[in-house]
Every structure is written in structure tokens, then in C-alpha cells.
Amino acid sequence: MNILEVKNLVSQLNTEDGVLHIINDVSFAVKEDECFGIIGESGCGKTMTSMSILGYSDRIGLKAVSGEILFKGEDVLKFSKKRLREYNGKEAAIILQDPMQALDPLFTIKDQMIETIRRHQKVSKKEAEKIMIETAESLSVAKEKLNCYPHQLSGGMLQRIVGAMVLSCRPKLIIADEPTTALDVTIQLQYLKLLKRLQKEYHTALIFISHDIKVISMMCDRIAVMYAGEIVETGTRDDLFYHPKHPYTQALFKATNIDGNIRERYETIDGAPPNLKEEIAGCPFAERCQYATDACISGKPEVVKINDEHTVKCRRIADE
């Protein structure tokens, strides 16, 4: 059963330099208890999509032009301010790349966690403290660390604490937006294993956003590949890693050592992503694609269903 369905979402970002067509007809669904990955290069719209799911569009100047974001059947885009406050934290929450963005430097970790738990769970201070300790210990955060201020702790410990703070509210959907980028490799692996284990234990749906293919392959059950504001391919981990169909997905994997083999030279993708100030008439990857035809440039490709889980937006695949 799907806990989240994003349907034909189109959003624009107003800037001093003009309107950016940042999310273009994005559709995907996230099942209960699964880890769903969104991968793509910087600036492709991953974070903006996550902000939309959380209902933060107005805060960042993002305007939803059309589409729906259905959480358990309710359209997040139509939530009142009161409903949005109930939704954020209690039902859906985010783990940010920089944990300091989620923490107040003037208060101890303990004070912040207890306040967060009581706001969303309506429990006594004593019960909130019990929940805090249990959740913190599940993420290997020692009890004494909870009395510290954020600046007294390492980046790895802060990321665990933010994870504990999010999990303590028992949300049904968590978005992890590049949560390991600032961590060294050893700490990164430990954190990912903990997050994956707790996601299963708490029966939480997890949207994991990253540009790191190896991290995505380790964490996710299904994956969406995003390029220039569009989802170009979606499938299971095996579908995408062993049978990629979209030329961008294929090129992205060739540019990494996802197979574990060290190469003297990695392939690159010629050209640059399109200018999002301009509306794209056809496939956003057409100008960089070796298979592109005039039809690819002039018209949008249809979504092609490869199997029940695997879909791709590519005219070449549709014509086969």
C-alpha cells in the first residue's frame, strides 16, 4: 500500500533572475515500510521535491502550478496551516544534510528533544524523557551526550541525534536529504546501517535523497532517477543497476565505479543540463543524448512501463 503518491507535480521557483521551472511533471509513489531513493546530480530538483512533500513550498518561494501530493489520500498542497503543523514532525519529517540547521545552539540536546516529543506526542515530561533515552540509545547516542550543547559534539554524533529526534516522534514518513555528505566514510557506513535497521524496526517509509550511487544502492528498495526537474526512470535496485533503460541512467552509472572496479578513466557526460529558466519542450536530456532525434527535442516522451515496478520516460524505448 502506498503511503505517499506524487502525481504530475509541476512547481516553479521565483528568483531575482526570473522563474525557474524546477519540478516538471514529477510522479512517483512510496510504499509503507520501504526505502525509496531519489538520485541525480546537484540542482536537478531532489531537495525541492522533498520540500514540496513536507509542505514547505511557501517558505522557500516554491509555487505548485499543478499536480497533487497525496499523503494517506490527503493532498498536502491543500493543507491548512493547522493541518500542516500536525503533519510536520508527527507524520512526516526530514533529516537534513547539516544537522546544525535542525538544532538550536542555545539549548541542550535533552531540552530540544523533550520539547519536540511533547509537541508531537502530547505526553508528560517524564514520559518524553523515557522516549528520548530509548530512541537515543537505539542510535548509539550515550545518555550523557544528551546534556551537551550542539557545538560540543561531533558531526557524526549530531547526525545521530537529529535522527533520534526525528524517530522519537514516530513519523510514518521520513525524508533523509543527503544525510551522510558531511560524514567521513567510516562514520557514514555506521550511520547508514543504523538508519536502515531502525527504519525497518519502526515500520517507517523512508525517502533517501543522494547523488551517491553506492549509498543509494545500499539503502534503497526502489529508486527514481531525476534529471533537470523530471523523473526519467524508476525501478527496483536490480532493475536500475542491471537493466537501466534511460540514456541518462546508463551514462550516470558509467561515470562511477558502482561495480567496485577501479578504472584509469571514467566516462563523462558531454554537455550541460538545460537552463531551467526556459521551458523544455521535449526530453530534458535530448541535447546530451547520443540517441536523440528531432522528435526527442520537440516533444515530451511518454512513460513506458517495462514491468510492474520499472518505468522509463524515453521515446527510443517507446518506439522499440
Tell me the CATH number at 232: 3.40.50.300
Whether residue 45 lies inside any domain: the answer is yes
Whole-model pTM: value is: 0.92
Lowest mean pLDDT among 1-15, 36-50, 179-193, 260-274: 260-274
Instruction: Establish if 135 belongs to a structural domain.
Output: no
- Establish if 114 belongs to a structural domain: no
- Conformational region of residue 271, where left means phi above 0, alpha means psi within -120 to 50, and beta covers everything else: left
Residue 239 lies in a domain: yes
Alpha helices in the chain (DSSP H): 46-53, 81-87, 109-121, 125-138, 155-168, 185-201, 213-219, 237-242, 247-254, 294-298, 315-319
Q: pLDDT tens digits for 135-165?
A: 998 888 899 999 999 999 988 899 889 999 9
Does a structural domain hold residue 259? Answer: yes
Q: Is residue 147 part of a domain?
A: no
Task: For the chain, give percent helix, strand, coil, nearest 5.
Answer: 40, 25, 35
Instruction: Give the pLDDT score at 262.
Output: 59
Q: Please tell me the least confidently modeled range out of 51-65, 71-85, 261-275, 284-298.
A: 261-275
87 part of a folded domain:
no
Per-residue pLDDT at 182 exceeds 80: no
Residue 288 to residue 268: CA distance in whole angstroms: 11
Task: Give domain status of residue 148, yes or no.
Answer: no
Q: Report how many domains make up the chain.
A: 1
Note down the domain range covering 45.
2-82+210-319
pLDDT score, position 155 = 85
For residue 258, the model assigns a pLDDT of: 64
